Amino acid sequence: MLKFVQAYKYACLLGLFIFIGLAGCEQQSSAEKFHSADITGVDFGKDLNLTDHTGKATRLADFKGKVVVIFFGYTHCPDVCPTTLSDMAQALNLLGKDSASKVQVVFVTVDPERDTQALLAGYVPSFNPNFMGLYGDEAATARVAKDFHVYYQKQQGKNSQSYSVDHTAGSFVIDPSGKLRLSMRYGLKAESIAHDLRILLLE
């Protein structure tokens, strides 16, 4: 009888440990379902009020129903910007045509002095025909960057036109309802980007 009671207690404890372990795994998998940082509920990144590379005034509401990836950069950027846009293009290819049509990648220039409408029109769609370049004057650029907590700072070069711009390297992802959901770090692999976008498309 004593052996039976001890065995029963052991079975109960084992079951409890298994339950706790499974619950922990479920919470962990839920918290880590994105490769990007989940920033759902933050109180910034609410709108864009800029002009696209075709000359059309653009707001975030124009993309409602789509997942929107917003990246701040500049066309003279030697590394981070072209790498990010290339990774985004590859990620959309991995999603497939139907899903990719529900994603809008937006490139916001932090170099309004040089990045004209014509320059953006030639640069941004070269990575993917559906990518959109946005620009504004200095005040509009500063306002949008501040709203998204984006840093940028001109670093003077040898002459007035050879400067570079230090800037935030990550991207921001808006869900189809228009809410800021993810902060996507620079260097995230295309497969991981596609994974995160797919989750938001299926929610």
Give pLDDT, residue 31: 47
Closest CA to 145 of 132, 134, 156: 134
User: What residue ranges do the domains of the chain occupy?
Assistant: 1-32, 37-202
Give pLDDT, residue 21: 44
If one counts every other C-beta atom within 10 angstroms of the C-beta of residue 170, the result is 18
The more confidently predicted of residues 11 and 90 is: 90
The span from the CA of 17 to the CA of 153, in Å, is 53
Closest CA to 73 of 46, 99, 110: 110
Task: Find out whether 46 and 147 touch, Cβ atoms under 8 Å.
Answer: yes
Summarised one tens digit per residue, pLDDT across range 19-30 is 334 444 444 344
Give pLDDT, residue 32: 64
Three-state DSSP class for residue 107: strand
Summarised one tens digit per residue, pLDDT across range 137-187 is 999 999 999 999 999 999 988 777 789 999 999 999 999 999 999 999 999
The span from the CA of 178 to the CA of 122, in Å, is 28
Instruction: Give start and end residues of each alpha helix (H) in 49-189.
Output: 80-95, 97-100, 117-123, 138-147
If you search the block for the tokens 């990045």, which residue do you land on? 115
Q: With a threshold of 0.85, does the pTM exceed it?
A: no
Summarised one tens digit per residue, pLDDT across range 61-119 is 999 999 999 999 999 999 999 999 999 999 999 999 999 999 999 999 999 999 999 99
Highest CATH level, class, for 37-202: alpha beta
Give pLDDT, residue 143: 97
Cα 169-170-173 angle, rounded to 5 deg:
150
